Structure 1
Amino acid sequence: MTSNESPLLRQPEEAVLVRTEGRAAHLTLNRPRALNALTHPMVRRIDEALTVWEHDPAVETVVLTGAGERGLCAGGDIRAIHGDARDGDGTASAAFWRDEYRLNARIARYPKPYVAVMDGIVMGGGVGVSAHAGVRIVTERSRVAMPETGIGFVPDVGGTRLLSRAPGELGTHLALTGAVVGAADAQLCALADHFVPSESLPKLTAELAHAPVREVLDRYARQAPPGELAAWRPWIDSCYAADTVEEIVDRLLADGDRAAKEAAGTLLAKSPTALKVTLAALRRARHLGSLEQTLDQEYRVSCAALTAPDLVEGIRAQVIDKDRDPRWSPATLGEVTDADVARFFAPLGARELGLGGTEFAP
């Protein structure tokens, strides 16, 4: 920590490192052994720092990075969510999401340039603290994804809004399969803005201490290496335009492209309930007027997931026991009814997140 740091930010918790350097303020997610997975105290610390810097005229730019060599952030602390959903009453997870989603909305509206360095792995909650930023930088090492359907969950942290606004049906493909994309594809899907070679990041972040963001980007931004999604647009747009997950799978299996058939296999391994709820959430998000309204919807869905069996089972299989053999319930797409899906979108009454200000479309 630096001597010019606000006393409000001097806390024992070091999972988020906070410093200022010249005109730039820096947030570093600092749990490298956990791939910088977000905890509730980390969310609060980031929010506190943003409050201080918003009112500090000496701070002109905020920069978000991740400690270690592996990435910015692998998502939320799903081990804690697993324990809360399995053994608790879900109160802790709901409180975490409430503050996390409010932080996501704040980042999107932050009045000063917020520069997210999306180097390495950026998934789930990591997307939430980066892809809503005003300036989003990817590198040749970037691996961006919303892999929630693989743990019986649904894209959150504003992810359904981001993905619903991607060109064509690219966002539907990413949301349902949890596919990992590189720099060019992240840009194509409007999840990132600028490509900077990873070797240039130290110089770029150092120069933000004394130069405006646009000026620094002009010096270091390059064209990203080619991705693969652009070439896949024909089958992605055709197959994922279907009205149901079952029809999407059928179209993928019938398509002549090998990648389409592989996508079908991927979907069939995911939580059937999570797939259907995700598709519904994406389609609804297209008609919501703001990020805040989308986060309100996602909060309903997330809280409902705490009382459904697939979230606990998915985290168990992927993270706790690591047997990679989840036993979904219901086990097939055909067994997931419209009523099962609708339950995830039911109003929460006094427990609503309430960011959107007005009621959103059912």
Structure 2
Amino acid sequence: MSDSAVQTDEILFGRIGSAAIIRLNRPKALNSLNLAMVHAMKPAMERFAGSPEISCVILMGEGERGLCAGGDIRAIYQLGKAHDPEVTRFWREEFPINYTIARYPKPYVAVMDGIVMGGGVGVASHGKHRIVTERTKLAMPETGIGYVPDVGATWLLPRAPGEAGTWMGLTGEVVGAADAIYAGFADYHVPSEQLGAMTEALSALRAGASDADVAAVIGRFSTAPGESRLEGQRALIDRVFSFDTIEEILAALDREEGDFAEFTRGVIAKRSPTSLKLTLRLLRAGRKSSSLVECLEREFTVASELLRNRDFYEGVRAAVIDKDRNPQWQPATLSEVTEAELDRYFVGGHAPLFADHRL
């Protein structure tokens, strides 16, 4: 695919004062990322990084519903069904963007207003200045579509306090602003009505502004996010989710009482057994990993193999294609998913995404 073939108005690049603006522009699709969008991001970010006139880069989503609902899984579904060899190219271009954001030399500000899921987390939560609002709905919902947390989430989730990241990764449940900050996916809570004024203030910064300068501006608009549900449930979450098998986690969960435990049991029961086991293995490996790159490479290996697995296609069918919300997982039970079966997902037959980079 040539560069000219991926030019798109689905992602817009501009300036407000000294601030470079990246605006995801697919509001009808909740700004979900496609190949053309991530392909266009790389040269733009390189250009902004090299410009002495740019003080910071601000990522936003068009419309009022969210920053980004994730990658365009419908497109991946269709390519996989057609056995198109280009099916993994989206991830090959997306994952290096996540790394670029994590290592970006200029202040990178992600405005996580509204829905922020999957790939949306990837282009936001690796940044230095991550802003949530009272409308934020953040999740890594992959176990519900027969997939696994990716975009470097297996680096971020294990670094949340206690086992909060394990709970987030396995349940795939939506969390709000306070939980996003508690779990380390965001830094500031800014009321949505203040985002325009905050952007104007950031755009007035001098070129060459430091991260401390940007933090000081955002701090002027930030307010308390309220109480974190995950923090309030930390003792239970740590008791239950410290185990290294899904079976042990569920057994521990069965010993707990109360609405939160009951809610969590009900959510996990609906997730793909294969995805649950793969996700837990990825999270535990991520906890021991020394770099984001290591996690991204491992995620890509597992994701590529999942394209050969029925559950991904069944999960996307139920959630996006037919929207009946009733996936029929195969295998249907945890006991049918053996460790030997899981091992094959971690055997990479692809060229590495990164040659020498480490983070």
TM range (shorter): over 0.9
User: What is residue 296 of structure 2 aligned with on the other side?
Assistant: 295
Give, in whole Å, the separation in 1 of the partners of 2:170 and 2:308.
Answer: 21
2:173 maps to 1:172: no
How far does residue 216 in structure 1 lie from its aligned partner after superposition?
A: 1.5
2:130 maps to 1:131: no
2:65 maps to 1:70: yes
User: What is residue 107 of structure 1 aligned with on the other side?
Assistant: 101
Contact between 2:145 and 2:312, CA under 8 Å: does it hold in 1? yes
1:172-198 Cα shifts (integer Å, max 9, x gaps): 000000011111110110000011111
Give the 3-state SS of the residue equivalent to 1:208 in structure 2.
helix
User: What is residue 4 of structure 1 aligned with on the other side?
Assistant: none
Contact between 1:196 and 1:222, CA under 8 Å: does it hold in 2? yes
Give, in whole Å, the separation in 2 of the partners of 1:189 and 1:355.
Answer: 30
Give, in whole Å, the separation in 2 of the partners of 1:122 and 1:64.
Answer: 12
Amino acid at match of 1:227: S
Amino acid at match of 2:8: E
How far does residue 256 in structure 1 lie from its aligned partner after superposition?
A: 1.2
2:330 maps to 1:335: no
Give the 3-state SS of the residue equivalent to 1:63 in structure 2.
strand
User: What is residue 36 of structure 2 aligned with on the other side?
Assistant: 41
Give, in whole Å, the separation in 1 of the partners of 2:133 and 2:247.
Answer: 36
1:259-285 Cα shifts (integer Å, max 9, x gaps): 112211211110000000000000001
2:217 maps to 1:216: yes
Give, in whole Å, the separation in 2 of the partners of 1:208 and 1:175.
Answer: 33
User: What is residue 325 of structure 1 aligned with on the other side?
Assistant: 326
User: What is residue 161 of structure 1 aligned with on the other side?
Assistant: 155
Give, in whole Å, the separation in 1 of the partners of 2:356 and 2:152.
Answer: 12
Contact between 1:102 and 1:355, CA under 8 Å: does it hold in 2? no
**Among candidates 115, 119, 125, match of residue 121 of structure 1:** 115
2:200 maps to 1:199: no
Superposition map of 1:42-61 within 5 A: 42-61=37-56
Q: Which runs of 5+ in 1 are unaligned?
A: 1-7
Amino acid at match of 1:124: G
Contact between 1:39 and 1:77, CA under 8 Å: does it hold in 2? yes
2:279 maps to 1:278: yes
How far does residue 169 in structure 1 lie from its aligned partner after superposition?
A: 0.5
Contact between 1:69 and 1:120, CA under 8 Å: does it hold in 2? yes
TM-score, structure 2 normalization:
0.94
User: What is residue 208 of structure 2 aligned with on the other side?
Assistant: none
1:168-227 Cα shifts (integer Å, max 9, x gaps): 100000000001111111011000001111110000011111124133113111111222
Contact between 1:65 and 1:72, CA under 8 Å: does it hold in 2? yes
Q: Taking structure 1 as reference, are residues 42 and 241 closer, same or farther at Cα in structure 2, changes over 3 Å only?
A: same
**Among candidates 136, 141, 147, match of residue 142 of structure 1:** 136
Give, in whole Å, the separation in 2 of the partners of 1:284 and 1:327.
Answer: 28
Contact between 1:164 and 1:283, CA under 8 Å: does it hold in 2? yes
The size of the alignment, in residue pairs, is 348
How far does residue 12 in structure 1 lie from its aligned partner after superposition?
A: 5.2
Q: RMSD between aligned alpha carbons?
A: 1.5
Amino acid at match of 2:121: V
Q: Taking structure 1 as reference, are residues 356 and 139 closer, same or farther at Cα in structure 2, changes over 3 Å only?
A: farther
How far does residue 247 in structure 1 lie from its aligned partner after superposition?
A: 1.4
Q: Taking structure 1 as reference, are residues 225 and 344 closer, same or farther at Cα in structure 2, changes over 3 Å only?
A: same
How far does residue 352 in structure 1 lie from its aligned partner after superposition?
A: 2.7
User: What is residue 177 of structure 2 aligned with on the other side?
Assistant: 183
Q: Which runs of 5+ in 2 are unaligned?
A: 206-212
Give, in whole Å, the separation in 2 of the partners of 1:357 and 1:28.
Answer: 27
Contact between 1:293 and 1:356, CA under 8 Å: does it hold in 2? no
Q: Taking structure 1 as reference, are residues 248 and 356 closer, same or farther at Cα in structure 2, changes over 3 Å only?
A: farther
Give, in whole Å, the separation in 2 of the partners of 1:228 and 1:355.
Answer: 40
Contact between 2:7 and 2:40, CA under 8 Å: does it hold in 1? no
Give, in whole Å, the separation in 2 of the partners of 1:168 and 1:354.
Answer: 30
Give, in whole Å, the separation in 1 of the partners of 2:143 and 2:104.
Answer: 30
Amino acid at match of 1:158: G
User: What is residue 353 of structure 1 aligned with on the other side?
Assistant: 353
How far does residue 355 in structure 1 lie from its aligned partner after superposition?
A: 5.1
Contact between 1:119 and 1:138, CA under 8 Å: does it hold in 2? yes
